[in-house]
Amino acid sequence: MVNADATNLWYNESEIRFDHIICAIGVTMYSGLSKFVKIFPMKYKILCFCLLLICSALSSVSAQKKLEALFLGNSYTYVNDLPGLIKQIALSHGDTLITDQNTPGGYTLQGHSTDAISLGKINSRPWDYVILQEQSQMPAFPPAQVALEVYPYADSLNKYIKANDTCTQTVFYMTWGRKNGDASNCAFYPPICTYEGMQASLRESYLHMGQTLNAIVSPVGVVWKRVRNEGDSIELYSSDESHPSLAGSYMAACTFYATLFQKSALGSYVPSGLNPATALHLQQYASTIVFDSLGVWNIDTTKVKAAFSTTLNQNILTITNNSQNATNYLWDFGDGQSQSGLVTNHTYGAIGDYTISLIAQNACASDLATHTIHVSVVGINHWIDPNASLHLYPVPACDQLYIDTGEHNYSYSIFNATGCEVIKGKSSPEKRIDISALPEGMYFIRMIMDKTIFTEKFQVLK
């Protein structure tokens, strides 16, 4: 069996978290919509929608993102203060990262899984992310050994994290192979005798943890390999050929910024002691690797995304909801009408421009998508199926308009001569519509029956 080294103990204390109150109120109100809609449906829906709209708009402002992350690892995290570097990079982009950490030297995931400090920090607040870093050699050991000594504790910690807050995302910190391989364990497991073999084993183990636990992987080790191969002799290692130099930690910080904030690291803060040209190369490598393979690192695959497409047939809007990872939907059609749920169509009563807004959400997050349409015709130019069984009477009509469609059910809208919708509804057993409130004039009735649109003209005389 191969064995891991041990190093020193070091950790920082945490900073204070302030919850996003507006988002919490909006989500809470929306979740309770079904209970209260009978009491004050329109006012409640409008207030709920506005709060969620504000929440989504704030979360989409790229320069004002705030995250909270806990780092559980060892010296690969605390050397050069990796969390502090990520915080400074975030700040240089207008973002905020609040961090805490427990990173004793040589610590393993098994150690963290029973460590009172680590478990207490997990439970200290609802984190956005908890970053897990295994001892630097262990994920490169033989697969059977990794299955016994690494994976069970990754699973245990992930479950503990989710028990504290189901919305917290676990992130595995993929580390790098030692400069010339793991000499201390080479005789026991030859694949790790070289950097390349050790790096391949680390990559495989961390990706396995990310995939099986539906967790994110920060691909620091992959970026490290690219820099080694193409980085014009940028020295990533410290003198022990294991821990990171300042350049190595900075590269890791750029990778984490791109992973956690899902933004490019280009133009980031550069610490004193690091050549700006070198820093720019590291920013580019980190951003490219992260964003070229988001699915591989399991980044963005569980994020709520609001998306929809529309087809406009005269004034009837057909909607295809393409949102991802959402459980609730709230629509605003720009005409004073809103609706929740899986909406498939909407009818506009007047000509004009309308902005459709969709807020898609789950228990953890929400997202906003908008689309603007132009309605140019309302209720007059629809086609009629010549084979349809449709009869209106009496014509002219006075107080009641009767509709004979056989056994078919339908929905209808009545428009005046200027194209404004004046009455809408659905078929009734009496097969009649009360038009007693309509003044004299010419009108058009549009019916949707069996996915077919019919339009007829009729006159009202008093």
Residue with more model confidence, 8 or 86? 86
Tell me how far CA of residue 22 lies from CA of 27, 52, 204, 263, in angstroms: 9, 8, 41, 24
- Reply yes or no on whether the pLDDT at 8 is more than 70: no
Residues 351, 335: contact at Cβ < 8 Å?
A: no
For residue 448, what are its two tokens? 């949707």
- Between 276-292 and 246-261, two packed helices, what is the crossing angle to 10 degrees? 40
H or E element, residue 201: helix 195-212
Q: Which residues pair with 392 in a beta bridge?
A: 403
CA dihedral 217, 254, 224, 281 (to 10 degrees): 150
**Angle between helix 220-230 and helix 276-292 axes, rounded to 10 deg:** 130
412 vs 408: CA distance, rounded Å: 13
Q: What is the mean pLDDT of residues 189-210?
A: 98
Residues near 371 by beta carbon (within 8 Å), at least 6 away in sequence = 308, 309, 310, 355, 356
If you average pLDDT over each of 12-26, 285-299, 365-379, which comes out highest?
285-299
As a whole number, mean pLDDT of residues 308-328 equals 92
> What pLDDT score was predicted for residue 392?
84
- Which distant-in-sequence residues (6+ apart) come within 8 Å of 152 by Cβ? none
* Contact assessment for residue 91 and residue 136, using Cβ atoms and an 8 Å cutoff: no
User: Is 186 in contact with 193 (CB distance < 8 Å)?
Assistant: yes
Angle CA 358–359–365, to nearest 5:
155
User: Residue 303 has what pLDDT?
Assistant: 84
Q: Looking at residues 204-212, what average pLDDT do you find? A: 98
447 Rama sector, left if φ>0, alpha if ψ -120 to 50, beta otherwise: beta
Give all strands of the β-sheet with 338-340 in edge-to-edge order: 338-340, 328-332, 352-361, 366-375
The token pair that represents 165 in the structure block: 């807050």
Per-residue pLDDT at 285: 97
Residue 247: alpha-carbon gap to chain centroid: 31
pLDDT band at 6 (very low <50, low <70, confident <90, very high): low
Q: How far apart are CA 51 and CA 22, in angstroms?
A: 7
**Each residue of 338-362: pLDDT tens digit?**
888 888 889 888 888 999 999 999 9
The pTM for the full model equals: 0.68
**Is the pLDDT assigned to residue 24 strictly greater than 70?**
no
Query: Per residue in 145-179, pLDDT tens?
Result: 999 999 999 999 999 999 999 999 999 999 999 99
Looking up tokens 């995931």, which residue turns up? 109
Could you say which DSSP state residue 179 is in? B
**Closest to 366 in 3D by CA, of 354, 358, 374:** 358
Structural domains of the chain, with CATH: 21-292 (3.40.50.1110), 308-375 (2.60.40.10), 391-460 (2.60.40.1930)
Output DSSP code: residue 397.
Answer: B
pLDDT of residue 37: 36
The answer to whether residues 220 and 255 touch, using CB atoms and an 8 Å cutoff, is yes
| 298 close to 211: Cβ distance less than 8 angstroms | yes
Strands 66-72 and 338-340: unpaired
396 — phi, psi (to 5°)?
A: -65, 160
> Mapped to the 3 state alphabet, what secondary structure does 335-388 carry?
CCCEEECCCCEEECCCCEEEEEEEEEECCCCEEEEEEEEEECCCCCCCCCCCCC
pLDDT tens string 269-303: 999 999 999 999 999 999 999 999 999 999 987 78
Tell me if residue 46 falls in helix, strand or coil. helix
The predicted structure's pLDDT at residue 384 = 42
Task: Count CA within 13 A, CB hemisphere, residue 349.
Answer: 14
pLDDT in tens, 73-121: 999 999 999 999 999 999 999 999 999 999 999 999 999 999 999 999 9
User: How far is Cα 260 from Cα 256, in angstroms, rounded to an integer?
Assistant: 6
Q: Report how far apart the first and last C-alpha atoms of the chain are (Å, whole number).
A: 98
Q: Which helix (H) or strand (E) holds 146?
A: helix 143-149
Phi-psi sector, 95: left (phi>0), alpha (psi -120 to 50), beta: beta
Which whole number is the average pLDDT over 445-456?
A: 78
Answer whether 244's CB lies under 8 Å from 236's CB: yes
Residue written as token pair 């000499």: 183
- Any idea what DSSP says for residue 185? G
Q: What does the pLDDT read at residue 52?
A: 47
Structure tokens belonging to residue 166: 């189901």
Whether the predicted pLDDT of 17 surpasses 70: no
Rounded to whole angstroms, how far apart are CA atoms 256 and 265?
A: 9
Q: What is the mean pLDDT of residues 422-447?
A: 90
Average pLDDT score, the chain? 85
Share of the chain above pLDDT 70, in %: 83
Please say whether the beta carbons of 79 and 238 come within 8 A. yes
